[in-house]
Chain A
């Protein structure tokens, strides 16, 4: 039994228009990793490399103990994959797809599949071409979930879904994790979802991993300090101040490595600390991207 479900080491891929560089991360079995990045950052390419659909130019990829892309057929027996650009066969019905998948995968759970049909409000006799976008996504998710795969790889699973459908999908994803031998990797633009359900978070921008850590560590390390600086008082300097906003009298410091001692240091320097605000994942990600693109904003 592997304790790493996914391991990327030094993975690179060159395309005419952009490059994926030095992709390193690990996903332990039983956790859920959220993959956050802007459009074109390299999320989909990374996911395709993970599935063995794209052959990396450098570095090693191991999924469920299998080397990719060489052992992709064996690996995919245990992986459920849904991507936003994936379509099912229009003229066929949901039921046909369910039968098709059932004939291939031994772990198909028919009672669970029927539960999902009810929860996702889908009828098996519906043809795919008659479904709305949200229904198609839910159908594809149903096909992946009902097989009870050891690893779920999802590229934007909730994008384009209405709030009710999103909530149902998140509930089903979390239910997967009730089994601690099962793992989920998902990319999403919805930072709220990522913040809520992920154990680990990886940020990617312009083909590079810019940060990868436990979610709680991220949320702990980043703070916005709202200060009141009296005239003729210098702003305290700390390592890890990535951004100084606000005005000179009422500055707002964005700090990437917060330490409670900083509050005391401010007060000793005569600077009043009005608030120590935590930051949402979205704010952390945006700041991360901004400092890479523009340098530290003074």
Chain B
């Protein structure tokens, strides 16, 4: 496995999506700024969260669609004519795209955490919940990535993005009701309860599982164009 080729492929994908990426970061930071300036108004906070999650999911779907786009725009033969194996291609799309997304994700997560910490209107107890939900978004995006790479179909990606968004909402609502989360949310301390930690571990396991399944499915394929 040639790491340098995988990196070149990922850099290529980043180059082709750089415009939207920068726009997403700017939009995200602007939203955070607006939420911070609203001085803790509940509505502003909720709207802000919705916008941020939309940006993330939207950007995630776009980045993960790069596989679908290679096929749609017929650039797949060009990529496959490069000195790479199918494993390297899959890795660049699965791991590489998630990595690019991860940069955006981390930037916005840090932005939210910093906003909570430095403004007086948000209880710091929100942070564990925010982290749990952020990792949930990451898990949803991993699912979109896995589906995109294995099906190479626009229809499937659109479908799973919508399902994933709905699931995200549903999960969000259920988690908020959990004892280990709800009781620390409004507190002034950052406290990761065992419930929160368990949920995080489960989420990361799910991400790892989805990637593993995607790699496995790809390895069974015999035809690449």
A residues contacting B by CB (< 8 A) are 48, 51, 53-55, 72-74, 76-77, 79-81, 83, 85-92, 96, 100, 103-105, 140
Contact = CB atoms under 8 A, between A and B. Distances in A.
Nearest to A56: B222
Contacts of A100: 8, 12
Contact of A140 (B2, B78, B82, B223): B78
Given A54-B224, A73-B88, A103-B8, A88 B77 contact: no
Contacts of A76: 81-84
A132 to B, nearest CB: 16
16 contacts: A53-B80, A53-B223, A53-B224, A54-B222, A55-B223, A72-B85, A73-B5, A76-B83, A79-B81, A86-B74, A86-B75, A86-B78, A86-B81, A87-B78, A89-B16, A104-B83
A54 B225 contact: yes
Nearest to A84: B77
Contact of A55 (B73, B75, B83, B222): B222
B15 interface: yes
A83 B80 CA distance: 12
Given A53-B223, A104-B5, A87 B81 contact: no
Interface of B: 2, 5, 8, 12, 15-16, 73-75, 77-78, 80-85, 88, 222-225
A87 B74 contact: yes
Contacts of A72: 85
A73 B77 contact: no
Nearest to A15: B223
Nearest to A90: B73
Given A87-B78, A100-B12, A54 B84 contact: no
Contacts of B85: 72-73
Given A73-B83, A74-B83, A105-B83, 19 more contacts: A51-B80, A51-B81, A53-B80, A53-B223, A53-B224, A54-B223, A54-B225, A73-B85, A79-B81, A80-B81, A86-B78, A87-B75, A87-B78, A89-B73, A90-B73, A92-B15, A92-B16, A96-B15, A100-B8
Nearest to A85: B74
Contacts of A103: 8
Nearest to A96: B15
A90 B225 CA distance: 19
Contacts of B12: 100
A16 B208 CA distance: 35
The 5 closest A-B pairs by CB, nearest first: A55-B222, A81-B81, A86-B77, A87-B74, A77-B83
Nearest to B73: A87
A104 B75 contact: no
A83 B74 CA distance: 11
Contacts of B83: 73-74, 76-77, 104-105
B15 A48 contact: no
Contacts of A92: 15-16
A104 to B, nearest CB: 6
Contacts of A83: 77
A91 B225 CA distance: 22
A73 B223 contact: no
Contacts of B82: 76, 104
Nearest to B72: A87
Nearest to B2: A73
Contact of A73 (B8, B84, B222): B84
